[in-house]
């Protein structure tokens, strides 16, 4: 086997992550022919095909999957080495890639803006996605840290709580339960719920709430974003359970109301999540320290 260059590994990892030459080219600021050439040279070096193409879709071969594992390890080590040398030079710079679940994006810009003002030499990238995509970005090493309400299980991740995340029941102002007091689980069970997809943090809270009261999950419709839930609740399609942080504007404008439900709000937490085997850069450590301190001063942390 011939040596595989670092550049070939970078290009290969990008193509493997996107399963697309064109997206990799855009990400790396290369032409598609240049990307294709790097992949061809990597295949020559390995002595095995790295991708299969079925129609217009790319698929990793067994050799491609193996190389992807080592490529990510090597590229991670290179990033950590650069960060170490920057620290030794006393430089506060570098890139910080943050991935957040969609609900956290209601408060993250406020926190991030202050951090960027205090650390102008650090280039920050923010990705907003659903929970599964955020976890995938951590696993694929495209995110230095993530913010989510339900940390992934497993020994390879480290999570630290930094702010309360109260979940509340919402309805349209004209809903029959809008003025009711001390609503009981049996009353809620008769309503139609607008829920996030299976596997989401808030969906799990709803399932556990009704199971804990020995009630079946009510009639419901699944929606893939909190914005869709809020719009549907406003339209009178049902009620929802959502983070208090995501409905500030709707409460102020009376487009939504919080229901007075027994055992609510359910207070969970927002977590900073890292990969355990990834050496945190100075920028990542500084951002984590900043979050732990700054979140204490945020208004409306509790309902």
Tell me the pLDDT of the chain (303 aa) as tens digits. 678 899 999 999 999 999 999 999 999 988 999 999 999 999 999 999 999 988 888 999 999 999 999 998 898 888 778 777 776 565 556 778 999 988 888 888 888 998 988 888 888 999 998 888 899 899 888 899 999 988 888 768 999 999 989 999 999 999 999 999 999 999 999 999 999 888 777 888 889 999 999 999 999 999 988 899 999 999 999 999 999 988 988 999 999 999 999 989 999 899 999 988 887 878 888 899 899 887 665 544 433
Domains along the sequence of the chain with CATH: 6-76 (1.10.10.10), 91-163+269-297 (3.40.190.10), 164-267 (3.40.190.10)
Q: Against a cut of 0.85, is the pTM above it?
A: no
Q: Give Cβ neighbours of residue 286 (< 8 Å, ≥ 6 apart).
A: 92, 119, 122
pLDDT of residue 241: 93
pLDDT of residue 297: 55
Tell me the CA distances in angstroms from 24 to 31, 67, 68, 97, one per residue in order: 9, 17, 15, 18
Q: Summarize pLDDT for 82-105 with one digit per residue, the tens.
A: 777 776 565 556 778 999 988 888
Rounded-to-integer distance, Cα 245 and Cα 251, Å? 11
Q: Is 128 exposed, middle or buried (0-12, 13-18, 19+ CB in 10 A)?
A: middle
pLDDT of residue 276: 86
pLDDT of residue 155: 66
């Amino acid at each position: 086997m011939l040596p595989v260059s670092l550049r070939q590994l970078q290009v290969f990892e990008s193509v493997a992550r996107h399963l697309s030459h064109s997206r990799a080219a855009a990400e790396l600021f290369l032409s598609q022919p240049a990307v294709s050439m790097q992949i061809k040279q990597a295949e020559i070096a390995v002595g095995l095909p790295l991708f299969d193409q079925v129609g217009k879709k790319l698929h990793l071969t067994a050799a491609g999957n193996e190389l992807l594992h080592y490529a990510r390890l090597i590229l991670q080590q290179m990033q950590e080495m650069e960060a170490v040398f920057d620290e030794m030079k006393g430089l506060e710079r570098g890139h910080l890639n943050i991935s957040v679940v969609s609900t956290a994006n209601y408060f993250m810009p406020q926190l991030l803006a202050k951090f960027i003002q205090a650390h102008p030499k650090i280039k920050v990238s923010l990705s907003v996605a659903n929970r599964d995509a955020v976890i995938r970005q951590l696993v694929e090493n495209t995110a230095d840290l993530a913010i989510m309400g339900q940390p992934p299980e497993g020994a390879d991740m480290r999570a630290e709580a930094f702010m309360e995340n109260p979940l509340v029941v919402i309805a349209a102002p004209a809903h029959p339960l809008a003025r009711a007091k001390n609503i009981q689980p049996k009353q809620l069970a008769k309503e139609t719920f607008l829920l996030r997809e299976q596997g989401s943090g808030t969906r799990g809270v709803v399932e556990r709430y009704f199971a804990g009261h020995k009630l079946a999950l009510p009639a419901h419709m699944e929606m893939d974003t909190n914005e869709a839930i809020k719009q549907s609740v406003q339209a009178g399609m049902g009620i929802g359970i959502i983070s208090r942080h995501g409905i500030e504007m709707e409460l102020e404008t009376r487009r939504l109301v919080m229901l007075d439900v027994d055992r609510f709000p359910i207070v969970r937490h927002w977590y900073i999540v890292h990969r355990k085997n990834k050496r945190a850069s100075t920028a990542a450590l500084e951002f984590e320290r900043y979050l732990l301190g700054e979140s204490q001063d945020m208004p409306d942390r509790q309902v």
